Structure 1
């Protein structure tokens, strides 16, 4: 698997997930051609990668060799075309990889390298750093997430000039959520731009262009924290009255920021989606998605028993009431909301996902054991929820988009195509009622358990 002009070097087959952990960030830099990758190779430790792929337009077999440029961004250094078969493709690709490795700095230099940002270069006093940032930076149990983010950050643009400072201090969770969305869009094969100063992302792909603006529900002041519910009555009040008010603030703020609709360069003819995450309290995301559905559409799903049969019916909800707050329900019914094509949410879009994805890519610490458990839709397309419990390891399977739900606005001026987020669940209105379609195995809810061995 090498030519005779190069020194022996070990080239091994690797998983698509390990390859993607290093290369997916580059894939969204430009639109992806219609290809299907079938094999992945590596010279460790992540020095050179190779991928063999089929061109879906003419069914020809090609391959590419990638290595980090002098700024650490994985980019193509060789393209090999028209392989006779897989064996020929592997041998020729491996020979090219060995050649790149032989003269490494020269072969990987691109000549147009720009300095990349370093998320972990300290920009604030230790006392000002967010506790979860310090955990990510220092803890062995988060090393997989840190290594994955260190690869990703080489491509990320600090478009508003404040990303690193906020990532390390007051905006850690929000910035992780942005990074997660960026990964989702790149995994989907979109060309991803980061307009300055906003919205956060402009995605371009075969389904058309669309914007994504990220926002979060953040913790309230300490004297206004609502305890997590315990009794059924408390859960009902928490889900149907309190949690919707946590979503109303950030969504209303985005809707009423006129800058989004008047800013020079903003294309008002393409879809505009808001992606929201709930960071207002640990474990509150257990109930967040149902509360978000209720707030967006202004309806509550209740189970009513009639003649011994239980039916799920939609009950209109006009107002949200929590303490002195009285707010209108139904975000998609608010004035100007037709500008918002959809709202996306993923309770699993957190630092834990980066950790699991990093472990699956072989970036973990052997002294750390991670278990992912929760509930998924069954893989037989029956829509039945079932429990799961899996160790996160080298053969663990998870995609960035797993767990993402897109709520479509029935009144949108520019509807968002379902294909914009392939692999997500989609909620939409049909004949006055709301339906959900979800891929087999769609993640409903989960937790991540971490054990560190000394």
Structure 2
């Protein structure tokens, strides 16, 4: 199947997303090729995808990424049904519904930011990011119970929610902390760790997160059977425009990549820096599948597994076990040097 005509304008110029226009008009042929490749085999079932790609961008980017992920692991997708987003097979049948953690109303999105937007308080930053993830999770669970689980293509199969973070400037800095809090009720507190000078990251159980002065939101969705109809969550804070740039074959690009990786026995991650000609990033680096121990239809580890991604499980003793490559991508920071304007541009 041919790629989608993603860059043939169908949306009014005034409604086009900033990043879409930048990719379309800039010197980004390699990146456009990546996105076209991700779209190969993807079926636009309602005839609206290209319009939404050009106007909303991030939700469509996430769907294209998930489609590329499923192709990478050898899964086959059946697009004959209008929903959910992916009805697939890879050793077993399963369904995926995609969503993003979007900005709160009237709040800034994850693009066009500057150094002034860096969070001053990591706990507040992570707490707000958790709220956005929780909103996305519960909204999709509501649809699952009202609609999706009644569909014949979903019955008796593991149902997976796929969530990506696009909720604020520097949203990638929250990394895995908000999703671990939301699903497993465990929070890693850097502020307290720094304050105490601790040798290990201070972690503790949490059962709610503050939404506003009047409201707390219960979390730990995978700590009880209440959400047994969700088999797992696919999550990434790095399936962004930065991912497209990272995997694109563009050795001439003036870009510097700084990446962070696990460092066993140390509070501090391994930090690596490379310019584009020397930088390599796999499509699935930074991706994680988090399993629900109470799932009604459990997902086999091999179904969504790959050597470059992480999978999270809850052990019998209640501890979270992550199975991941030694150099798992925790975070990526990309700086593009634009000599024409004597400045630089940061991408997540």
What is the Cα deviation at residue 139 of structure 1?
1.0
Distance of 1:328 and 1:278 partners within structure 2: 20
Q: Secondary structure at the match of 1:285?
A: helix
**Are 2:99 and 1:218 equivalent residues in the alignment?**
no
Relative to total residues, which structure has the larger strand share, 1 or 2? 1
1:284 aligned residue: 171
Q: 2:149 aligns with which of 257, 261, 265?
A: 261
Alignment of 1:180-219 (within 5 A): 180-206=65-91, 208-219=92-103
Higher relative contact order (CA 8 A, sep 6+): 2
Q: Secondary structure at the match of 2:248?
A: helix
Q: Secondary structure at the match of 1:295?
A: helix
Which has the higher Rg, Structure 1 or Structure 2? Answer: 1
What is the Cα deviation at residue 386 of structure 1?
0.6
1:368-407 CA-to-partner distances (Å, cap 9, x unmatched) read 32222121236x99998311112223x6432211111111
Distance of 1:381 and 1:161 partners within structure 2: 51
User: Residues 151, 425 of structure 1: CA spacing in aligned structure 2 closer, same or farther, 3 A cutoff?
Assistant: closer
1:24 aligned residue: none
User: Residues 400, 230 of structure 1: CA spacing in aligned structure 2 closer, same or farther, 3 A cutoff?
Assistant: closer
Q: Which consecutive residues of structure 2, in runs of 5 or more, have no partner in the other structure? A: 110-115, 341-348
Distance of 1:304 and 1:376 partners within structure 2: 19
What is the Cα deviation at residue 191 of structure 1?
1.6
For these two proteins, the number of residue pairs brought into alignment is 325
User: Residues 334, 256 of structure 1: CA spacing in aligned structure 2 closer, same or farther, 3 A cutoff?
Assistant: farther
Distance of 2:15 and 2:149 partners within structure 1: 35
**Are 2:160 and 1:270 equivalent residues in the alignment?**
no
User: Residues 195, 310 of structure 1: CA spacing in aligned structure 2 closer, same or farther, 3 A cutoff?
Assistant: farther
Q: 2:321 aligns with which of 415, 423, 435?
A: 435
**Are 2:67 and 1:177 equivalent residues in the alignment?**
no
2:343 aligned residue: none
Q: Which consecutive residues of structure 1, in runs of 5 or more, have no partner in the other structure? A: 1-70, 74-115
Distance of 1:410 and 1:137 partners within structure 2: 43
Alignment of 1:29-428 (within 5 A): 73=2, 117-140=4-27, 142-169=28-55, 171-206=56-91, 208-222=92-106, 230-231=119-120, 234-239=121-126, 241-257=127-143, 258-266=146-154, 268-301=155-188, 310=199, 315-323=204-212, 324-333=214-223, 336-359=226-249, 364=250, 366=252, 368-377=253-262, 385-393=269-277, 396-419=279-302, 420-423=304-307, 424-428=309-313
User: Residues 318, 447 of structure 1: CA spacing in aligned structure 2 closer, same or farther, 3 A cutoff?
Assistant: same
2:344 aligned residue: none
Q: TM-score, normalised by structure 1?
A: 0.65
What is the Cα deviation at residue 334 of structure 1?
6.5
User: Residues 334, 261 of structure 1: CA spacing in aligned structure 2 closer, same or farther, 3 A cutoff?
Assistant: farther
Q: Secondary structure at the match of 1:222?
A: coil
User: Residues 151, 181 of structure 1: CA spacing in aligned structure 2 closer, same or farther, 3 A cutoff?
Assistant: closer
Q: Retained in 1: the 8 A contact 2:99–2:136?
A: yes
1:90-133 CA-to-partner distances (Å, cap 9, x unmatched) read xxxxxxxxxxxxxxxxxxxxxxxxxx631112112111111110
What is the Cα deviation at residue 248 of structure 1?
1.0
Q: Retained in 2: the 8 A contact 1:381–1:439?
A: no
Q: Retained in 1: the 8 A contact 2:39–2:67?
A: no
What is the Cα deviation at residue 273 of structure 1?
1.2
What is the Cα deviation at residue 310 of structure 1?
4.9
What is the Cα deviation at residue 309 of structure 1?
8.0
Q: TM-score, normalised by structure 2?
A: 0.83
User: Residues 309, 381 of structure 1: CA spacing in aligned structure 2 closer, same or farther, 3 A cutoff?
Assistant: closer
1:61 aligned residue: none
1:27 aligned residue: none
Q: Retained in 1: the 8 A contact 2:224–2:294?
A: no
Query: How large is the Cα RMSD of the aligned pairs?
Result: 3.0
Q: Retained in 1: the 8 A contact 2:39–2:68?
A: no
